[in-house]
Amino acid sequence: MNTVLLDKSKHNRNRFDCGISALNNYLKVMASQQAKKDNTRTFILEDDNDESRIIGFYTLTMTPIDLNALPDKLQKKHHSSTSGGLIARLAVDANFQGKGFGEWLLIDALRKLLTASDTVAFPVVIVDAKDGAKHFYEQYGFTAFKDTENRLFITIADIRASLS
């Protein structure tokens, strides 16, 4: 399995339905425009039987870090850092959910961010979990920020340790 950059001339975005319309609409309307403007990158996991069919996708970009919301030890360690990697969206089509594709996409996204951080260093990866998906991220080592409901982070050091 492999992810490829979203190609709106190839990938059937209208057929994708993960059950959350905000995520479906992002893929349909925004993802390609945002990539063209170099604001985000969206990666697609295609169905091997039909490459136009989207099994799942994720979107990556950078985001400011709220240092005050990090645990004290990390605040000290990263006090001069301003940005973190952001998994801005991640979703699997409802027909393919519960088969391990979400886990596979998350690990693929973390690998890409780890590689990016080797060149342009940043200390954490952040995700905004949609309703009900917080535990999905927690089981892979993400921790909720202080005082936030659904924003979670994992350090690049932890990603490196678990993926290498």
CB of 150 to ligand COA, least distance (A): 8
- By CB under 6 A, tell whether 18 contacts ligand COA: yes
- Residue closer to ligand COA (CB basis): 20 or 144: 20
Residue nearest ligand COA (C-beta atom): 102
Place of tokens 């604001």: 39
- Residue closer to ligand COA (CB basis): 22 or 157: 22
41/77 Cα distance (integer angstroms):
29
6/2 Cα distance (integer angstroms):
12
Which residues contact residue 73 at a Cβ distance below 8 angstroms, ignoring those fewer than 6 apart?
Answer: none
The two tokens of residue 43 are: 């990666």
Chain centre to alpha carbon of residue 133? 12
- By CB under 6 A, tell whether 20 contacts ligand COA: yes
- By CB under 6 A, tell whether 103 contacts ligand COA: yes
- Considering only residues 110 to 139 of the shown chain, the ones binding ligand COA according to CB under 6 A are 129-130, 132-133, 135-136
CB of 153 to ligand COA, least distance (A): 14
- By CB under 6 A, tell whether 100 contacts ligand COA: yes
Q: Which residues of 74-84 are buried (b: 16+ CB within 10 A; e: fewer)?
A: beeebeebebb
Binding site for ligand COA (CB under 6 A): 18-20, 23, 90-92, 97-103, 129-130, 132-133, 135-136
